[in-house]
Structure 1
Amino acid sequence: DLGGRIPPASRVRQFLAETAADKRRRVVDELLDSSLYVMHFSTVWRKALLPETQSDPQTRVLVPGFEAWLRQKLSEDTSYSAMVREIVTVSLAPAGVAGELSRPGNRPSPLAFYQAKQIKPENLAASMSRTFLGIRIECAQCHDHPFDKWKQDEFWSFAAFFAGMERQGQGGFLAAIREVSERRELEIPGTGRSVGPVHLDGAKFGPARGGGTRRLLADWMISDRNPYFARAAVNRLWAHQFGIGLVDPPDDFTADNPPSHARVLELLATEFVVHGFDVRFILRAIAATKAYQRTSRRTHPSQSNLRLFSRMAVRGLSPEQIYDSLAQAVGHVPPPSDRQPAVPGQSETPRSRVLELFRDESSRPTQKRTTILQALALMNSDFTADATSVDRSRTLAAVVGIPGLTTGDRIEALYLVTLGRRPRVEELKRLAGYVDGGGATGDRRQALGDIFWALLNSSEFLLNH
């Protein structure tokens, strides 16, 4: 959840051997201070902010620059409110200027947020409200919301904050964006009426000064007095850690969808504001709860409702978590270029192949499951074959080659490197018999490779539980 991959076997052994009462807290602190956290959460936030990159391959050209910007902000421990302000107020070229500064590429920039939404005011309004405020106002785009309080005028008044932008020249998603006018008004389709920008709490404002209407929107959005911002953020972080939000879905705060634990939500939101919108503080607080430390094992019928958090939900790993965990387990050290997204027309890498294989447009971790075709493809892939070959696998060669180990020691090492636990008594007995008997080929070394292959392809390896 925090590092984006399974821990190395040496770290698992160290944790299991420790007896200090604060060992879990120290591991959490270690992860949150690591580059693994930065890399993992740059992907987590990119998926939340640019969901288009999950379904539209053409938008993936926007990923490198946006993730580079996220990594920069996460490395600097920039507050969540400051990150959101940068996204909302990102600099665009004034009318008549060439616009190179507003052309996204591989340089760190949040501009991709606007490009992925095709700079359409209605798309930006819907995405901003969902992502940062937890509100689905797009249902009021064509008519008053049928089930909530939002009116059509309120949707278009919010969208008016993003009026006056256009693409400059050719280039599709990579074309520069320029400000056409500081006059922010939009005509409501089919009505003949125009509206100016109004905050979702109904507050209007005077003429924009020193930065325009988007700056005024950012001021309101990240304000301590905004009733939506902090609650939506901590709820999204809770949903990341548990697979289920206190308000679920996380972007659907309505009167008909109240939080399962309102006091917890309000406490986290209050502390988030008090601590300067510090994401790591909230993640650290969530990781310290008894609810987060529970197993997914069901021990009582009352635990059937996962929204009560009496046990942990079983969640499918993301494609990135699957690949990075496989690489960790088999001792593969990918080159830096391997972290680039799969873009149409570019050569594939082992990482991009795994990401495409397990790509799932569902944003619900509790609904992610490996299909039969995905499992078969992973089982029979060159990556898995090399990883479980005694001659080509770094991990397997080390386990097989260390002198003085018993069969049980070698099997335990494979369990620790893949599942992060020691084998149960019955598992060890059965598998030791398999290895000592030479396995399917009469070769004890390859029998260990068979066990390694089975562990890497097991549901326990592919699920977060």
Structure 2
Amino acid sequence: MLRRCGGESVLSKLLTTAALTAVCFGLCVPAAAAPPDPQALADRIDAHLDARLTAAKVTPAPPASDTEFLRRACLDITGRVPKPRDVYDFLGDSDPAKRAKLIDELLEMPRYASHSAAVWRAALAPETTAVPEARVFQTGFEAWLRIKFRANTRYNALVRELLTVPLSADAGSPTPALRRPEDPNPLAFYAVKEAKPENLAAATARVFLGVQIECAQCHDHPFARWTRDQFWNQAAFFAGVERHGDGLFAPMSETISVRVITPMGGKKPVPAWLLDDREPSRSPDVSLRAALAGWVTAKDNPFFARAAVNRVWGQFFGRGIVDPVDDFHDDNKPSHPELLDELAKAFADSGFDFKYLIRAIGRTKAYQRTSARTESAQDDPRLFARMSLKGLTGEQLFDSLVLATGFREGGGRGAPREQFLTRFALSGKPAEPETSIPQALALMNGKFVNDATTVGASPTLTAVCELPGLTTGGRITALYVAVLSREPMPKELNRLVRYVDGAGKDHLAERLGDVFWVLLNSAEFRLNH
């Protein structure tokens, strides 16, 4: 804490004095650079999209309602639905700029960092969801990422740190085994890739450059320009990395003197070489990973910023400007190439600031459109004429269920989070959600939802049933706001009031539990729209 003097901090007075001194003696004090304006970028985004819509003679969907926008923004930025009081606060706010203000507020919440960590952990280490043995690394890797997002670490710095994390000076002093994978630790990225150069090269190119170069591991890429030699050129950057022993917890090391790799099934060693056909700088005392990281995160890298903004765009719109988001190649053209270039340049010029990029996207007319179809021409997803329906990730679904039902970990009810993360992991594109039979059964008949819709075991339902002075309509409305973040439409309310009251007062809790169950199992709850 800075000591205060008459309501003004010591540092503030010192800075003021320094500024006055500079003026008096004619010193030049450069003005601090103004932060980039997210609204200016939002307007440019809309201009690109609107031009395409006009050319295609498509009328975009109208703006989303306040409750639709609130729920969407909360799910996209914080990973769960809003609290009921936040719904009423937002509806009661008459500020014309309240949507932009909401985006700013959500980005400052701790849950922004938590949700971003989960999103990027899934992108960087999908093995932690798909491979049972690797799930133990979820907690520690997300904890490390959460620290970075909480500090608003710039994307280039985060990637550079991940790619250059120390393993060891030589193979004779390997890193200790990852005995506590729950501790914040970026080494999980290397552990779940089995410390294999080919796995690390493929993941690095896919996530940070948007290139699925692993298709060229055994032969030249079937439809992109990448060759087998280029794949092994990338693997050579990790050639000195190895694991000592079996299993994910085995120690790892790096021999920095190793500069080439021999491809599987090949005889001729291949050197490290950059994807833009340049030779990397080679310092004998520094890992080649540092040279790779420097090139990957450079402002003028032709892949890095474009891949990053496309991935974020895909997160918020359900599909990328290039889709799939990590498959840039000549036969998979961007839907809006000029927009992609504009976003990449703005992101790089901002210092690779994720919050700036999200603020701009959230302020666009495109992001604020309803998902409801108002004309058939809006069905082309590449036009972004209306918001796509997006499937919830396992984290989003579970955290939203927890908030809506009042569930608390422990209390003899078990810990279903891991089951949800595994069972409800998105297997396809967010904008093409599918519900499997096991997923449907878990929501309809699983213990979690069964308890959540039973008075006595459900905090939310118990509170709604026992709160004095509420009419049946008021109780149903409370359930709607808790689950769907909106009040019921008159037709919905009238039908459900008749259903609940028709059984008599002795069955009030049971019938309200039925209503709660229907809402929790509805597509409106299970989708981000």
TM-score (norm 1): 0.93
CA distance in 2, matches of 1:206, 1:402: 69
Within the candidate set 508, 521, 527, 1:444 is matched to: 508
Displacement of 1:183 in angstroms is 2.2
- Superposed CA deviations along residues 7-36 of structure 1, whole A, max 9, x for unmatched, are 111101111121111111121111111111
| Pair 1:350-2:416 in alignment | yes
Displacement, 1:410?
1.6
Aligned with 2:267 (options 192, 197, 206): 192
Whether the aligned pair in 2 keeps the contact of 1:102 and 1:177 (CA below 8 Å) is no
Residue type at the aligned position of 2:501: D
Q: Which residue of 1 aligns with 2:240?
A: 164
CA contact (8 A) 2:371 2:386 kept: yes
Tell me the equivalent position of 1:341. Answer: none
Does the residue aligned with 1:174 lie in a helix, a strand or coil? coil
Given candidates 84, 91, 95, the residue that maps to 1:9 is 84
Per the TM alignment, residue 164 of structure 1 is displaced from its structure 2 partner at its CA by 1.4
Q: Does structure 2 retain, via aligned residues, the 8 Å contact 1:66–1:108? A: yes
The answer to whether the aligner puts 1:430 opposite 2:505 as a matched pair is: no
Among 21, 45, 49, the alignment partner of 2:96 is 21
Q: CA deviation at 1:101?
A: 7.9
What is the identity percentage for the equivalent residue pairs of Structure 1 and Structure 2? Answer: 49
**How do 1:112-191 residues align onto structure 2 when only pairs under 5 Å count?**
112-170=188-246, 172-191=247-266
Residue type at the aligned position of 2:443: L
**Aligned pair partner of 1:234 in 304, 309, 314:** 309
Alpha-carbon distance in structure 2 between the residues aligned to 1:236 and 1:449: 40
Q: Determine if contact 1:99/1:168 at 8 Å carries over to the other structure.
A: no
Residue 142 of structure 2 is aligned to residue 72 of structure 1:
no
Query: 1:402-432 CA distances to partner (integer Å, 9 max, x unpaired)?
Result: 2222222221111111001111111011111
- Measure the CA separation in 1 of the matches of 2:158 and 2:99: 29
Aligned to 1:403: 468
CA distance in 2, matches of 1:173, 1:372: 32
For residue 222 of structure 1, report the CA deviation from its aligned partner: 0.4
Alignment check: 8 A CA contact 1:388 1:452 kept: yes
CA spacing shift, 1:152–1:181, aligned 2, 3 Å: same
Letter in 2 for 1:418: V
Contact 2:256 2:288 (8 Å CA) reproduced: no
CA contact (8 A) 2:295 2:301 kept: yes
- Counterpart-to-counterpart distance in 2, 1:198 and 1:329: 52
- C-alpha separation in 1, matches of 2:477 and 2:303: 49
Alpha-carbon spacing, 1:102–1:432, altered in 2? closer, same or farther (3 Å):
closer
Q: 1:103 Cα deviation (Å)?
A: 6.8
> What is the match of residue 453 of structure 2?
388
Provide the rounded CA distance (Å) in 1 between the counterparts of 2:179 and 2:363: 42
CA contact (8 A) 2:499 2:511 kept: yes
Distance in 2, matches of 1:207 and 1:452, equals 63
- Contact in 2 for aligned 1:104/1:111 (Cα 8 Å): no
Unaligned 5+ runs, structure 1:
339-346
CA 229–3 in structure 1, closer or farther in 2 if over 3 Å, else same: same
What one-letter code is carried by the residue in structure 2 that aligns with 1:256? Answer: D
| Cα gap change, 1:352 to 1:78, in 2 (>3 Å) | same
Residue from 404, 413, 436 that aligns with 1:371: 436
2: CA distance, partners of 1:189 / 1:392:
57
**Structure 1: which 4+ aligned runs deviate by more than 3 Å?**
101-104, 188-191
State the number of aligned residues. Answer: 453
Distance apart, 1:369 and its partner CA? 2.2
Question: Where does the alignment leave 5 or more consecutive residues of structure 2 unmatched?
Answer: 1-75
Deviation per residue, 1:77-104 (Å, 9 max, x gap): 1111111001110101222115228777
Q: Which has the higher contact order (CA 8 A, sep 6+)?
A: 2
**d(CA) in 2 for partners of 1:48 and 1:319?**
14
> RMSD between aligned alpha carbons?
2.1
Q: Which structure's CA Rg is the greater one?
A: 2
Report how far residue 181 of structure 1 moved: 4.2
Secondary structure of residue in 2 paired with 1:367: coil
> Bigger shift: 370-379 or 308-317?
370-379
Q: Give the AA of the match of 1:92.
A: L
Deviation at 1:75, TM superposition (A): 1.3
**1:349, CA displacement in angstroms?**
1.5
TM-score normalised to structure 2 length: 0.82
Counterpart residue identity of residue 443, structure 1:
H
Describe the superposition over 1:101-126 as per-residue Cα deviations: whole angstroms up to 9, x where unpaired. 87772221211111111111111111
Would you say the 8 A contact 2:130–2:422 is kept in 1?
A: no
Give the 3-state SS of the residue equivalent to 1:365 in structure 2.
Answer: coil
SS in 1 for 2:77: coil
The amino acid across from 2:160 in the alignment is: R
State the 1:379 CA deviation: 1.9
Stretch moving more, 158-167 or 180-189: 180-189
SS at match of 1:178: strand
Within 2, Cα distance between the matches of 1:254 and 1:50? 23
CA distance in structure 2 between the aligned counterparts of 1:348 and 1:429, rounded to whole angstroms: 37
- Asked if the contact 1:91/1:102 (under 8 Å) is kept, the reply is no
CA contact (8 A) 1:103 1:176 kept: no
Which amino acid letter does the alignment assign opposite residue 459 of structure 1? A
